[in-house]
Amino acid sequence: MLGYFTDDVLSFIKHKVIHAQSKYASYSSLMRCAVHRLCFTLFNYVNAALSDRSN
C-alpha cells in the first residue's frame, strides 16, 4: 500500500516538474524574444538619433 502511494506521489511530482519545465521553457523563450525585440528597437532608435545629430 505504502509503495503504491509513494509511486503515485512520485509520478505526480514528476508530472508537475515536467509541466513546470515546459511552461518555464516557453516563458523563457517568449521573454528572450521580447528582450531581443526591445534591444533591436532601442538600437534602431539610438542609431536614428545619432545619425540625426550628425546630419
Please give the residue range of the domain that contains residue 33. 28-54
What amino acid occupies position 36? H
* Angle in degrees, CA 25, 31, 36, rounded to 5: 125
DSSP secondary structure of the chain = -HHHHHHHHHHHHHHHHHHHHHHHHHHHHHHHHHHHHHHHHHHHHHHHHHHHHH-
Q: What is the percent of the chain where pLDDT is above 90?
A: 47
Flag whether 44 is in a domain.
yes
Flag whether 36 is in a domain.
yes
Q: How many residues does the chain have?
A: 55
- For residue 4, what pLDDT is reported? 76
End-to-end alpha carbon distance in the chain: 80
Flag whether 10 is in a domain.
no
Say what the pTM is.
0.51
Tally of domains in the chain: 1
Mean pLDDT of 26-49: 92
Flag whether 37 is in a domain.
yes
